[in-house]
């Protein structure tokens, strides 16, 4: 398990892709961080009134910047990109008309 600080204007979808490599990890982020809070300005931009009542966490609004986010770095949800090294010259082929 590791803890990272949320950057400005990141929502949970951004965080899932950044730290897990896919958006399917949103559920895991929410489960590991039940006290997630949105930025008030992000909620205002979506037209959600934050005065008085407690607002339910909104997935598409930015998470509060600086929030200490728990990430399971051993999770099965982590998708690692596979890159293949090119070992030969790249050749461009032209289409020739007969």
Give 50-76 pLDDT, tens digit per residue: 776 677 899 999 999 999 999 998 888
What is the pLDDT, as a whole number, of residue 38? Answer: 93
pLDDT on residue 54: 74
**At residue 86, does pLDDT exceed 60?**
yes
- Kindly list the domain boundaries of the chain, sorted by start residue: 2-71
Tell me: the pLDDT tens digits for 6-51?
Answer: 999 999 999 999 999 889 999 999 999 999 999 989 998 888 887 7
pLDDT at 3: 95
pLDDT of residue 26: 95
Tokens coding 18: 């950044």
Q: What b/e readout covers 18-41, taking b as 16+ CB neighbours within 10 angstroms?
A: ebbeeeebbebbeeebeebebbee
Q: Give the pLDDT of residue 88.
A: 67
């Amino acid at each position: 398990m590791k803890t990272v600080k949320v950057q400005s204007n990141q929502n949970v979808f951004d965080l899932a892709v950044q730290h897990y490599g896919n958006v399917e990890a949103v559920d895991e982020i929410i489960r590991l961080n039940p006290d997630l809070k949105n930025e008030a300005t992000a909620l205002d931009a979506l037209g959600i009134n934050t005065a008085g009542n407690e607002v339910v966490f909104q997935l598409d609004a930015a998470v509060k910047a600086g929030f200490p986010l728990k990430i399971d770095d051993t999770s099965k949800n982590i998708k690692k990109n596979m890159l293949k090294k090119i070992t030969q010259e790249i050749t461009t082929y032209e289409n020739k008309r007969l």
